[in-house]
Structure 1
């Protein structure tokens, strides 16, 4: 186990499936996590081995047919394990000839469910989508589903869908990301910066495309726009050496230049001592709060995961570390500790803690988050608390829903209203009918949530 944890040994998917069964995890959660970890830890590494998700009792073509029929029927439930199994079995075939209507129904449904799930349920669907988008036949159908989702003028969930483009190496995908960088929709343009950083880390940009990324990095570093500063640091960190040097030469502000150089050298958003102290404190709290049979030494792997989830410069690494923590026994306790950090630290560190909470869930402090969402006077804090409720994956009870409705209808801040609609759309869609007094733009967002559907959680 220690060699597997440290990366010294690559464990086969068959062994991982054995661990899943032994500890009672849903099928495919560890498999999806392991593959994502390999992919995000070393962009130059080869693709993970083909999944051996499970031993089929029937012929492969019959199994695929049954799974496709299930996925194409909107009334038939599909768990994350079902989606991962379908993707794996489909991509065992070099040629997959299916009616366009079948591809459209299956890929549209997968994208929709990817946007509405959290934790291990999302991880498995994400790995299924990555598996399909890397297949030469399935790829164009997944891209069509992504395009349909992202071009909706009222789309509210962007990041998990847009991030799939980082796994497509061809020039057309890179050009699409470059176009999205200049999108009028802020969520799309900011999300595209994260994807561009991930693609740059994989070496997907060359020539003119690299020059455009350099110009974007210079423009955003010198005259920051909105909340994109962290993502631009991410992008600059993973530019090729010559491109990075050209960007650095344009920076006249010594403090900004030092921050860019530090981020590239350490891959950390804060000074090393700050990252070390905060992550050690959170890991210690989480370890103390998590029941164990035997006394244990400080868990250094836990400390590293916390540090990366909060402070790694690369958004993909922060996301993967948070995903690993969520499926671990420490997930709820780390979420509780991050919530404490989010409400008492500086705005910068607090924002990193909230980002982690959005992926970890609200732990055992959901009531505290609801109170912040309803009563906190600072819209910055209120918006993040509402977003945490929306991303928790759990429905709102009547009292929570009433508080979110009140916060959404009474706030003068557009960002708080949008976050409130996220919380209601995911957790209490029945409450969206009370949004008639909102401005027309926000009513359209409420209607978008009604079309998409609420948060989805797999049984068991």
Structure 2
């Protein structure tokens, strides 16, 4: 399992390096020989072209320093590939390589650490790259202590507060930075406490992020809180976050002794007693399947499996669709995306097709997101997004049932594009779409690139508020809360004030608006 995961991670990162070099804007560097000659900048002999080939076909793992060199030579934003590399390795339950902090001498690193700590624990502004650098320096010093120790909590609180309102690359950089704090011996318990406090805050719209981050650590407080939210969740989103954390905790054997039995009982009860939403079912079944590795509980969990065809698919193939159909859809999307690039390579890019399939059909949301991140960090980002948007529009028009429309909407946001904003507006401002699609569209807005003008937001809110008044369902209230979160990340403070002060709005939306008004959005 470990060797297979390492091979898969190395192949995916190698593919990312290859397509950025071969399909990028610098035509001269598309030659492996030319790129190898340009790679060295330390006066040493030129790199052999075969070395480039081995990195890019996944037979040799590229170090973080190597990936940074690719970023520099190809003119890509700093950390744009390195952060994805770290996310890929973490998703495969592999150790993330020790951060390459040796870019200068030890005195320079130490001074930079102190300077960044001063800014982070004071009023200084930190970008996503700053948070990445700070936590790299912290991770490289497992013996580091801060005095007074409460500074760790202040650091974690600030980073987490920025993470949940960040968008695009700024979000991913802070996500990885928070993971490093959760792994640090001295920072760990303070970072766990910060995650628990935010997840417990009933006014905060961000519940999934702080809960799912607890998958990084085996700290007893993290295990206890995840189990509590599986047993007595605050709401459906808390259950979702706890399931995400539990899936990876099982893979990393975080739970101890009687905790395993408690977890199995929680999952068994969920499969037999819980009124499944379309969002929770894949996670519950995926977690149950992973727990069958505990022999004493395997038969019990198999018997508790829901009778639905989707549940059976998830149990057997970890997909939400029949494998042949999923592969067919994914290869079609990949081929159409490839055809949009003038410098496309011949034949189907099999790794691209696999990533498209994983981003749309895998049962585990974290794994879907990582697949989307890989595509988003490649030249295929916009071509794949265009094809997804085109096919999603067609499916909505014909009211199809075989195309993964809700997954495609989510994927478009994770691809870090804004071309689907008009479609999201149409779904939310026009009548006729079912509540599940509207819910997915609403919760796509908080982390979606681009921005709606105030008049568009008012149209959307008024439409969804009118629908909620007629039905008063929890799902309808969740739609308005998601919209409020999106209004906040779009920076419309006047609309947030109106929502906060309106007695006609659901309580959850008013609380979310009040919480967001206390914060500034993060875009870097």
Fold shared per TM-score above 0.5: yes
What residue in structure 1 maps to residue 110 of structure 2?
61
What residue in structure 2 maps to residue 137 of structure 1?
186
When structure 1 is superposed on structure 2, of 62-71 and 219-228 the one drifting more is 219-228
What residue in structure 2 maps to residue 11 of structure 1?
62
Confirm or deny that 1:434 pairs with 2:498.
yes
Aligned-residue offset at 1:3:
4.2
What residue in structure 1 maps to residue 208 of structure 2?
159
Aligned-residue offset at 1:153:
1.2
Confirm or deny that 1:21 pairs with 2:76.
no
When structure 1 is superposed on structure 2, of 179-188 and 243-252 the one drifting more is 243-252
* 1:414-435 C-alpha deviation (Å, 9 max, x unpaired): 1221122122121123311222
Aligned-residue offset at 1:197:
1.1
183, 200, 204: which is aligned to 2:254? 204
Confirm or deny that 1:453 pairs with 2:504.
no
Aligned-residue offset at 1:12:
1.0
Q: Are the structure 2 counterparts of residues 278 and 225 from structure 1 closer, same or farther at C-alpha, using a change threshold of 3 Å?
A: same
> What residue ranges of structure 1 are gaps of 5+ in the alignment?
none
Partner of 1:29: helix, strand, or coil?
coil
Work out the CA distance in 1 between the residues paired with 2:275 and 2:518: 31
What is the 5 A alignment of 1:282-293? 282-289=333-340, 291-293=341-343
Q: Is the 8 A contact 1:376 1:382 kept in 2?
A: no
Q: Is the 8 A contact 1:411 1:417 kept in 2?
A: no
What is the 5 A alignment of 1:17-56? 17-41=68-92, 43=93, 45=94, 47-53=95-101, 55-56=103-104
237, 240, 245: which is aligned to 2:298? 245
When structure 1 is superposed on structure 2, of 394-403 and 149-158 the one drifting more is 394-403
What residue in structure 1 maps to residue 373 of structure 2?
323
Q: Are the structure 2 counterparts of residues 170 and 65 from structure 1 closer, same or farther at C-alpha, using a change threshold of 3 Å?
A: same
What residue in structure 2 maps to residue 405 of structure 1?
461
Work out the CA distance in 2 between the residues paired with 1:402 and 1:54: 51
What is the 5 A alignment of 1:88-167? 88-93=136-141, 94-167=143-216
What residue in structure 2 maps to residue 419 of structure 1?
482
- Alpha carbon RMSD of aligned pairs, Å? 2.5
Partner of 1:263: helix, strand, or coil?
helix
- After TM superposition, where is structure 1 displaced by more than 6 Å over at least 4 residues in a row? none
Q: Is the 8 A contact 2:288 2:301 kept in 1?
A: no
Work out the CA distance in 1 between the residues paired with 2:57 and 2:286: 25
Work out the CA distance in 2 between the residues paired with 1:24 and 1:97: 37
Aligned-residue offset at 1:231:
0.9
Confirm or deny that 1:186 pairs with 2:236.
yes
Aligned-residue offset at 1:23:
2.4
Number of equivalenced pairs = 450
Q: Are the structure 2 counterparts of residues 314 and 381 from structure 1 closer, same or farther at C-alpha, using a change threshold of 3 Å?
A: closer
When structure 1 is superposed on structure 2, of 196-205 and 332-341 the one drifting more is 332-341
Q: Is the 8 A contact 1:386 1:404 kept in 2?
A: no
Confirm or deny that 1:276 pairs with 2:327.
yes
What is the 5 A alignment of 1:248-397? 248-251=301-304, 255-256=307-308, 262-289=313-340, 291-294=341-344, 296-342=346-392, 344=395, 345-346=400-401, 349-378=404-433, 379-397=435-453
Work out the CA distance in 2 between the residues paired with 1:340 and 1:221: 36
* 1:79-133 C-alpha deviation (Å, 9 max, x unpaired): 2111110001122221222334533332212101211223322221111111111
Q: Normalized against structure 1, the TM-score is what? A: 0.89
Work out the CA distance in 1 between the residues paired with 2:98 and 2:453: 42
Q: Are the structure 2 counterparts of residues 161 and 98 from structure 1 closer, same or farther at C-alpha, using a change threshold of 3 Å?
A: same
Q: Is the 8 A contact 1:310 1:318 kept in 2?
A: yes
Q: Is the 8 A contact 2:326 2:357 kept in 1?
A: yes
> What residue ranges of structure 2 are gaps of 5+ in the alignment?
1-17, 19-52, 469-475
